């Protein structure tokens, strides 16, 4: 296939969306846009893992409600998350009587699940699909670094895993909604970054490859988009991405670029180092703040670039570097 960009002729629509956020996220600059703000990150559950499941289930519930759907109307759900064996996703859809596709795309999962759901809807393999993902600061720290109770010090290049979730309902032929006209599936790119406290640097080359490929294949330039939205490179990764795209590919995205990890927190005021990350970061930002701005017509054309660091603590300890991936979903209204 010479042209990697996939055109979706039916332009599937986002007919429902829901977002949930944790305490720190609810104290950030876009808190008023979230559907549910939890004031306690335990969410009245007995473990951080079950708390994350609660986040995801709530986001899916709101997405269904806004689309005026029930579980019985959903033909297939695409979901994944950061936890080993993707437990929040599997357990959120357990016994819900819905065909289920489990995904692993690390922090790229919101874009990735939207991409596969929109292919299935466009290809008429289903009428109504759900795409959803979540992350939780405490479950992710426990699994990837140290339990938060240890109080270990964080590096200034590190990103804070967002406690949050987002979910979408995707259907055909609802033209007044936000539409998905084109998508691009990312490649696994590894330029040798080994610092697991600097995920932005590990993901930036994959984002650069996907963005330049998308621009080139669609014969567009950065200013054709109201926003090129990466999720989530944070402060350090965003700088690397912009420099890399100018130096290596000749594209200057600086006037239209933003990053979900920079939108969700106030980096000056909140103690979040290089910004937000985690599947729930781009999921919660897209399904709240960005959808609101698109529905208001403030943003009409957004290139949403979901970035993921396919990092395993075990394989990192074995000396391996961290591969990145970036999936693109174009959103128009």
For 128, list phi and psi in degrees, rounded to 5.
-135, 125
Q: Which of 32, 40, 68, 94 binds a second copy (CB under 8 A)?
A: 94
Closest CA to 200 of 243, 250, 167: 243
Element (H, E) at 201: helix 199-218
Closer residue to a second copy (CB): 28 or 200: 200
User: Quick one: DSSP state of residue 246?
Assistant: I
Q: Exposed, middle or buried, 30 (CB in 10 Å: 0-12/13-18/19+)?
A: buried
Q: Is 97 in the site for a second copy (CB under 8 A)?
A: yes
Identify which range of 61-69, 83-91, 165-173, 225-233 contacts a second copy by CB under 8 A.
Answer: 83-91
Kindly give the interhelix angle for 199-218 and 234-244, rounded to the nearest 10 degrees. Answer: 40
Q: Which of 98, 148, 246, 267 binds a second copy (CB under 8 A)?
A: 98
Q: Which of 6, 197, 239, 246 binds a second copy (CB under 8 A)?
A: 6
Q: Which of 36, 61, 65, 126 binds a second copy (CB under 8 A)?
A: 126
Query: Is residue 132 within 8 Å of 74, Cβ to Cβ?
Result: no
CB of 214 to a second copy, least distance (A): 12
Looking only at residues 311 through 330 of this chain, which bind a second copy when binding is defined by CB under 8 A?
311-315, 318, 320, 323, 325
Q: Is 157 in the site for a second copy (CB under 8 A)?
A: no
Closer residue to a second copy (CB): 80 or 275: 80
Task: Give the x/- contact pattern for a second copy in 186-205, rule: CB under 8 A.
Answer: xxxxx---------------
**Residue located via tokens 């970054």:** 193
CB of 175 to a second copy, least distance (A): 21
Q: Which of 86, 117, 272, 284 binds a second copy (CB under 8 A)?
A: 86
CB of 1 to a second copy, least distance (A): 4
Residue 8: cis peptide before it, omega within 30 degrees of 0: no
Kindly give the interhelix angle for 137-144 and 48-66, rounded to the nearest 10 degrees. Answer: 140
Looking only at residues 213 through 272 of this chain, which bind a second copy when binding is defined by CB under 8 A?
none
Closest CA to 287 of 160, 127, 159, 178: 178
CB of 26 to a second copy, least distance (A): 26
Element (H, E) at 244: helix 234-244
Q: Which of 42, 69, 75, 220 binds a second copy (CB under 8 A)?
A: 75
State the Cα–Cα distance between residues 101 and 79, nearest whole angstrom.
6
CB of 104 to a second copy, least distance (A): 4
118: helix, strand or coil? helix
For 272, list phi and psi in degrees, rounded to 5.
-125, 20
| Cα–Cα separations (whole angstroms), residue 201 to 27, 62, 159, 204, 213 | 27, 34, 11, 5, 19
CB of 252 to a second copy, least distance (A): 25
Task: Give the x/- contact pattern for a second copy in 162-191, rule: CB under 8 A.
Answer: ----------------------xxxxxxx-
CB of 292 to a second copy, least distance (A): 30
Q: Which of 27, 127, 195, 252 binds a second copy (CB under 8 A)?
A: 127
| Cα–Cα separations (whole angstroms), residue 249 to 147, 153, 215 | 40, 37, 10
CB of 271 to a second copy, least distance (A): 27
Binding site for a second copy (CB under 8 A): 1, 4, 6, 46-47, 49-50, 75-76, 80, 83-87, 90-91, 93-106, 112, 116, 119-120, 122-123, 125-127, 184-190, 310-315, 318, 320, 323, 325
């Amino acid at each position: 296939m010479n042209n990697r960009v996939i055109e979706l002729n039916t332009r599937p629509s986002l007919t429902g969306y829901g977002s949930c956020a944790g305490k720190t996220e609810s104290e950030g600059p876009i808190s008023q846009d979230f559907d549910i703000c939890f004031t306690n990150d335990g969410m009245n559950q007995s473990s951080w893992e079950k708390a994350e499941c609660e986040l995801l289930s709530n986001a899916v519930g709101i997405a269904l409600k806004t689309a005026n759907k029930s579980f019985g109307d959903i033909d297939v759900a695409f979901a994944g998350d950061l936890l080993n064996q993707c437990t929040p996703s599997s357990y959120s859809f357990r016994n819900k009587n819905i065909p289920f596709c489990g995904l692993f795309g690390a922090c790229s999962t919101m874009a990735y699940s939207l991409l596969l759901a929109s292919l299935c809807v466009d290809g008429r393999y289903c009428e109504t699909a759900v795409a959803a993902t979540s992350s939780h600061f405490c479950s992710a720290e426990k699994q990837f670094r140290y339990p938060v109770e240890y109080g270990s010090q964080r590096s200034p290049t590190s990103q804070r895993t967002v406690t949050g979730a987002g979910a979408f309902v995707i259907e055909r032929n609802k033209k007044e909604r936000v539409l998905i006209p084109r998508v691009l599936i990312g490649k696994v790119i590894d330029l040798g970054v080994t610092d697991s406290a600097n995920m932005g640097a590990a993901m930036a080359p994959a984002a650069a490859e996907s963005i330049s490929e998308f621009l080139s294949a669609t014969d567009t330039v950065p200013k054709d988009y109201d926003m090129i939205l990466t999720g989530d490179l944070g402060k350090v990764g965003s700088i690397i991405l912009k420099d890399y795209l100018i130096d290596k590919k000749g594209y200057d995205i600086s006037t239209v670029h933003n990053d979900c990890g920079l939108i969700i927190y106030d980096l000056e005021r909140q103690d979040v180092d290089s910004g937000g990350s985690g599947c729930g970061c781009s999921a919660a930002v897209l399904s709240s703040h960005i959808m609101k701005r698109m529905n208001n017509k403030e943003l009409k054309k957004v290139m949403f670039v979901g970035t993921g660091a396919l990092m395993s603590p075990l394989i990192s300890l074995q000396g391996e570097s961290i591969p990145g991936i970036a999936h693109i979903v174009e959103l128009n209204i």
